[in-house]
């Protein structure tokens, strides 16, 4: 049954995977998928529990006496992952996370939040100058917000910011299980260009430091290189862009699509801005941009009758867990008043998204400005298409009129 339901390359699955997740939760919430050589888990209970289980990790090479030697494109791309918070486990994860806590402070998030409001208003000003009063809300609004915020956070000069989105789009292609050779080549090219750019930027910032996160991290590296190597500094800057950009853009895209398809809720939100925080959480839940992520078994586990040896791969489906009726009443219903809303769009446990507070500031501010400034905003097409990907689910465009 599971092999008949779970067909991740089929057009029907890629168009709308949620009915398939429902069938899997009901018939085979834990099963082995030959195509990816890993176990697929779709229930909230399982995903929630295992994300918190320290016997699982994002990588396991640190436990192996003779880790496999990578070659070719895998070895090339791995240069951009070494030391990234996403790709390491304790004690290295603890060491680098401490550096983030020292530099990526609540004060810095508040300061960036103050800039987001002005940025969103400027973007809406530009939309209102369009004679047609039509736009792609992703391209013309959403995409600019996180890339500007993260570029400000890192201190990337405005003249260089045009490179960041193409690099991010290329790099994330590597994480797709059904990636093509062309996607791998593009990911490696983008990663190498981003690494070279940041390596060139470091001495410039060392000479003329700013108030940005990258300057603060350089100072820590120079004073205590054992806490943060240059490679770790570079690769965590790359992580900040990729994770922060993709999350915010695609929550706005997927979420506004859901909201504008429900005019009554869009009207209610415009009338009552106190609904914005719960609306954002529901936008993250209803169509989660990061559909699943992988974990590896670090030590043998027996779970619900399954025995998993070290190295076993688990595909934990955040998006399916966020639609589980065992946790969410009427899970297929989009409800901006849903509270509580214990979705796991940002993950859980050790690898919970470190940028979640900043992302929420960006998302809530963007929605508030849209509600205030574009009250007649509506979809200009009823049925939109998604990129044919499994890990990252996001629209090809969000055409609107206002």
Q: How many CB atoms are closer than 10 A to CB 341?
A: 18
The pLDDT value recorded for residue 27 is 95
Distance CA 6, CA 36 (A): 12
**230-260 vs 213-223: helix axis angle to the nearest 10?**
160
Confidence of residue 382 (pLDDT cuts 50, 70, 90): confident
Q: What number is the average pLDDT over the span 86-94?
A: 95
Please say if the pLDDT value at position 1 is more than 80: no
The predicted-structure confidence for 342-371, as pLDDT tens digits, reads as follows 999 999 999 999 999 999 999 999 999 999
Q: Which residues of 132-156 are buried (b: 16+ CB within 10 A; e: fewer)?
A: eeebbbbebbbbbbbbbbbbbbbbb
Tally the domains of the chain. 1
- ∠ CA 136-114-100, nearest 5°, is 95
Please say if the pLDDT value at position 62 is more than 90: no
Q: What CATH number did the domain enclosing 208 receive?
A: 1.10.630.10
**């974990």: which residue's tokens?**
295
Tokens of 12: 């029907």
CA atoms in the 13 A half-sphere facing the CB of 76: 15
Confidence of residue 216 (pLDDT cuts 50, 70, 90): very high
CA atoms in the 13 A half-sphere facing the CB of 205: 24
Distance CA 318, CA 296 (A): 16
Domain membership of residue 125 as a residue range: 2-401
The predicted-structure confidence for 166-190, as pLDDT tens digits, reads as follows 999 999 999 999 999 999 999 999 9
Q: What number is the average pLDDT over the span 206-221?
A: 95
CA atoms in the 13 A half-sphere facing the CB of 310: 7
Contact 277, 382 (CB under 8 A): no
The predicted-structure confidence for 255-294, as pLDDT tens digits, reads as follows 999 999 999 999 999 999 999 999 999 999 999 999 999 9
Contact 244, 359 (CB under 8 A): yes
Q: How many helices (H) and strands (E) does the chain have?
A: 16, 10
């Amino acid at each position: 049954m599971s092999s008949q339901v779970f067909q991740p390359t089929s057009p029907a699955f890629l168009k709308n995977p949620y009915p398939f997740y429902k069938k899997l939760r009901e018939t085979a919430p834990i099963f082995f998928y030959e195509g990816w050589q890993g176990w697929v888990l779709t229930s909230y209970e399982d995903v929630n529990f295992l994300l918190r289980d320290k016997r699982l990790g994002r990588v396991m090479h640190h436990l192996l006496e003779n880790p496999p030697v990578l070659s070719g494109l895998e070895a090339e791309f791995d240069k951009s992952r070494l030391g990234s918070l996403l790709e390491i486990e304790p004690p290295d994860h603890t060491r680098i996370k401490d550096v983030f806590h020292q530099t990526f402070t609540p004060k810095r998030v508040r300061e960036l939040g103050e800039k987001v409001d002005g940025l969103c208003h400027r973007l809406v000003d530009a939309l209102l100058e369009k004679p047609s009063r039509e736009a792609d809300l992703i391209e013309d609004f959403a995409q600019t917000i996180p890339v500007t915020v993260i570029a400000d956070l890192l201190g990337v000069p405005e003249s260089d910011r045009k490179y960041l989105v193409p690099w991010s789009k290329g790099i994330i292609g590597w994480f797709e299980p059904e990636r093509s050779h062309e996607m791998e080549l593009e990911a490696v090219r983008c990663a190498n260009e981003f690494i070279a750019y940041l390596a060139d930027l470091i001495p410039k910032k060392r000479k003329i430091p700013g108030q940005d996160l990258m300057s603060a991290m350089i100072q820590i590296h120079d004073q205590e290189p054992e806490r943060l190597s240059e490679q770790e500094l570079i690769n965590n800057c790359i992580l900040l862009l990729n994770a922060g950009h993709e999350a915010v853009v695609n929550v706005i895209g997927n979420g506004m699509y859901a909201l504008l398809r429900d005019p009554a809720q869009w009207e209610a939100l415009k009338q009552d801005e106190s609904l914005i925080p719960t609306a954002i959480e529901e936008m993250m839940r209803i169509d989660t941009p990061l559909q699943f992520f992988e974990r590896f078994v670090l030590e043998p586990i027996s779970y619900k009758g399954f025995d998993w040896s070290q190295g076993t791969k688990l595909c934990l489906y955040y998006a399916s867990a966020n639609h589980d009726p065992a946790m969410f009443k009427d899970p297929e219903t989009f409800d901006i008043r849903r509270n509580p809303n214990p979705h796991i769009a940002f993950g859980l446990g050790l690898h919970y998204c470190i940028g979640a507070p900043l992302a929420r500031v960006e998302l809530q501010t963007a929605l508030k400005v849209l509600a205030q400034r574009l009250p007649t905003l509506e979809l200009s097409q009823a049925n939109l298409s998604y990129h044919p990907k499994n890990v990252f689910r996001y629209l090809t465009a969000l055409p609107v009129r206002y």
